[in-house]
Amino acid sequence: MSEPTTLPRPSRRGRLLRVGAALAVLFALAGYLVVQYVSGGPGAPRCVAGSGGGDGATFGMSPEQAENAATITAVGLAHKMPERAVTIALATALQESGLRNLDHGDRDSLGLFQQRPSMGWGSAEQIMDPVYSAGKFYQHLAEVPDYSTLPLTVAAQRVQRSGFPEAYAKHEPDATVLMSALTGRESASLTCTVAKNAQPGDPARVREDLTRAFGRGVVPAERPAGSDVVVPVRATEGTATPGAGREQRGWALANWAVAHAETLHIARVAYAGRVWSAEDSADGWTAGSGAASGAASPGPGGAAGGSGAGSPEVRITVAS
């Protein structure tokens, strides 16, 4: 009978290599999942803005980024800033924070625009409020002579005084797509794919957030019962482009609501015969009908639209 063969024991180095390879795979998988969630990859909530300009340009983002971009745009509308100013603001926030409301940064920089309390931008609490921080950016931008005719990166740098003054330029194409969608220049041009709402929404909070972003008077003072927030689209209200039509204003409001759907638990947004719903959010904006699709309310004579008739409206329904 032959002697049993003694197999060589695995070396310590070999075991360490195998353990290291396994850990590397696990870290890579974890990193992939984090990136997919943050960037709105497959399986995660995701928003897409399109320019509608025939070039097929789009910009994909997470709901958090869409919400912040919509807030920056709405504040620009409330301040009656031109579209160029909105584009500059969006490009600046893309560079400074990736459209995320960061609670950290270089030295004491905070928020969407990485503004510094020590440099007079406001308190840390104020800067972390997207409505406040966007308003301060527009305030400083308006003080830059001829900012609308300057190259975008030059105008942004005169507000931000960044150590990387040329960095804003690369974001201009994406900022332009966002501006076109969120100012309502392009109809039904923002859509978000979100999970079906598991929690009920609060119509009062929707009204409050609309008022903070777009200014007082955007929603009627009366608060009807039910889960709908009805926002009249008035031709006299400001838009990013002086003289822009009522329909553009309506799409700015409607796209704001879609961008905030996840946070505010919005189930449905209807305007101008189109409907977006959380339940069918993968379908984007679809055709609707009647008052439920945001068509004009009938005037005294019973006809919708036209002179003397009721105003068109954006109808926002929260989850119940």
Domain range summary for the chain, segments of one domain joined by +: 48-182, 196-318
Per-residue pLDDT band for 243 (boundaries 50, 70, 90) equals: very low
pLDDT at 226 > cutoff 70: yes
Residue scoring higher pLDDT (22 or 89) = 89
Lookup result for tokens 């305030």: 139
Residues 253, 314 contacting (CB under 8 angstroms): yes
Supply angle C-alpha 80, 82, 84, rounded to 5: 150
- Residues 9-25 have a mean pLDDT of 62
Instruction: Give the whole-angstrom CA distance, residue 120 versus residue 36.
Output: 37
Instruction: Give the whole-angstrom CA distance, residue 210 versus residue 3.
Output: 85
pLDDT at 5 > cutoff 80: no
Lookup result for tokens 């926030």: 93
Model confidence pLDDT, tens digit, residues 255-300: 999 999 999 999 999 999 999 999 999 999 999 865 555 555 443 3
Instruction: Give the whole-angstrom CA distance, residue 19 versus residue 236.
Output: 67
Residue scoring higher pLDDT (138 or 45) = 138
Per-residue pLDDT band for 26 (boundaries 50, 70, 90) equals: low
Min mean pLDDT across 39-43, 49-53, 68-72, 83-87 is at 39-43
Model confidence pLDDT, tens digit, residues 61-113: 999 999 999 999 999 999 999 999 999 999 999 999 999 999 999 999 999 99
Q: Which residue type occupies 41?
A: G
Per-residue pLDDT band for 24 (boundaries 50, 70, 90) equals: low
Residues 47, 60 contacting (CB under 8 angstroms): yes
Question: What is the per-residue pLDDT for 234?
Answer: 81
Write the DSSP assignment of the chain as a string of letters. -PPPP-PPPPPHHHHHHHHHHHHHHHHHHHHHHHHHHHHT-TTS-EEEEE--SSS--EEEE-HHHHHHHHHHHHHHHHTT--HHHHHHHHHHHHHHHSS---S--STT-BTTTTB-GGGTS--HHHHTSHHHHHHHHHHHHHTSTTGGGS-HHHHHHHHH--S-TTTTGGGHHHHHHHHHHHTTSSTT-EEEE-PPP-S---HHHHHHHHHHHH-TTSS-S---SSSEEEEE--TTS--SSTT--HHHHHHHHHHHHHHTHHHHTEEEEEETTEEEESTTGGG-SEE--SGGGTPPPB-TTS-BSSTTSBPPEEEEEE--
Phi-psi region of 293 (alpha: psi -120 to 50; beta: other; left: phi over 0): alpha
